[in-house]
Chains A and B, each alone.
Chain A
């Protein structure tokens, strides 16, 4: 039986296991919305305030659930509003399928109303993309898109479906084989070299990136760490994959990383990178970074190996295949106890311990929220100083509990992300840490959280400034605070109330605790915490520097 292109899309989404879709209707997706209306009992549709919020929500949904996120938007502005969301998913390797409608095929490129070459616009920020010009290919393209998004190094896939393709009729095959993207077997020819490097190392250091979280392989990394007596440091994307409570976990490294984690990394004679790409934010001065260190690079993407930092041994493939193998092989090689290195790590960790007090400053605010919520609570952040405070001071013990924009560093990510993560959790309590700058970008999504009664606690660290910009201006531009002060007088609790949410103002740790206790069970709640304008996100290694340049 022939069904419409729009119906083929919805049927295929269902067959691919999609049960949640974030979307915003418009002229070129009306046929799809008509089909979604009929299938509302199977696919839940979440309507954000803005397509960007929907894109971030789908991205966070994917990060926290491990499933592929799906976004639907109309052509033209609907599609261009997705661009930041697509870029965000691209730079953090998140599996999201973006679907846009467009003008009918004969009108493509004719500058008709809302005609934008969105596939052209997004070309450098997608893992793959399609314009469906022939309905005969529609089902297979959707099928393929889901597999491409979720295999190998994951990422966003975009499908642009012109309106006439949605309106055409074609056969739908419920038994079409699920597209098989052959995975390349791991390249292990340097496995022995890697084992040799590990065995002869005096001071190994394991550097975990987002790939460890994405592959859910934190447990093996922890065993590996114990097996070879090596500390673990992580990029922001790796946070949570190994519990913060694990004694050899030193926490985040890099520009705003913990002192102990960076010190250990710089003292190591071997860095074993797993699912990490040595971004400039993690390495600082790439030239000096591994000058006196050997590097083993384990990654699923062969293009990452040697891209930023040379590797002395490379193991290319899925961490889920490589880590167990590496652990097994190493079991036959006697490991050194590395007693002095472990002692050094313990000393560093002791030196780096944080003392929390009742003073109303960022680290204590983060700590208070941390104590109030269980370790399964998903924490989302926006981008800036507050993000670094969360990365540094919040103790993440469970994988996929920190959802944050890493590679793109997109202010405004947080509200959409909190919605997506909350929905992924089955509408459990979700926390968003944000700043007044970031919150200002997408706070209209409060309306979405109200509509869907999402229990999101929003901790708004309000310093009346674009804090990270101000910090750089203070440190590197002789205090010339150009356009970074926000002399707004927004009454955030009142704003929350106007949206139908709850709002509190906290000026002390005690007030914050009281506010946390009074957060309603349903719907979002904004807790505004007023902090000093000159608070800094420290420690910090200035761009291009190394541990000796660290500002503590």
Chain B
């Protein structure tokens, strides 16, 4: 049975590490649904959140193979349902006069922010679960989407530990 799973990894923060991690998926023909990477509080290390889809076997292989990379310091499998996860999206929408209030309402309903606008477009920022972002995209389709840029999920384990 295949399902989405989230892996958090701490890696050395230097060139080529992303290639090693991505290459590990690629050489086995595993697809990465999303990958987000950024420095941690210690600039020597970066944290990656990788979402992919696969069965139990693939999940275990990915984790075990990642652990073998010298640049990978820690690998955690994050529970999809309990982990604290968020995704960001920037979305540029077509703006016609009659839509103006509808769009503002929609952005407000989703707790989003207007980041940029002009006479015929508006760029909004939406954060939240991937499902929430997908719901927003569905709603916005009726208005007219010009461009979408999603960050990919970032996740951290629930609780203190």
Contacts and interface: CB of A to CB of B under 8 A. Distances in A.
Given A124-B23, A124-B27, A302 B64 contact: yes
Contact of B16 (A119, A148, A306, A307): A119
Contacts, number: 28
Interface string A115-157: 0000110011001110100000000000000001000010000
A120 B19 contact: yes
B66 to A, nearest CB: 9
B73 interface: no
Given A128-B70, A148-B70, A123 B65 contact: no
Contacts of A306: 57, 60
A123 B68 CA distance: 14
- For chain A, the bracket of interface size reads 10 to 19
A129 B68 CA distance: 13
Given A301-B68, A302-B67, A307 B61 contact: yes
A153 B64 CA distance: 13
Contacts of A119: 16
A489 interface: no
Nearest to B57: A306
- For chain B, the bracket of interface size reads 10 to 19
Given A303-B61, A306-B60, A307-B61, A123 B20 contact: yes
Nearest to A184: B67
A302 B60 CA distance: 10
B116 to A, nearest CB: 35
The residue among A120, A124, A148 with the most chain B CB atoms within 10 A of its own CB is: A124
Contacts of A303: 61, 64-65, 67-68
B10 to A, nearest CB: 16
Contacts of A129: 16
A172 B14 CA distance: 24
B74 to A, nearest CB: 14
Contacts of B68: 153, 301, 303
18 contacts: A119-B16, A120-B19, A123-B16, A123-B19, A123-B20, A124-B23, A127-B70, A128-B69, A128-B70, A129-B16, A131-B16, A153-B68, A301-B68, A302-B67, A303-B64, A303-B67, A303-B68, A306-B60
Interface of B: 15-16, 19-20, 23, 27, 57, 60-61, 64-65, 67-71
Given A129-B16, A301-B68, A303-B68, 5 more contacts: A123-B16, A123-B19, A128-B70, A303-B65, A307-B61
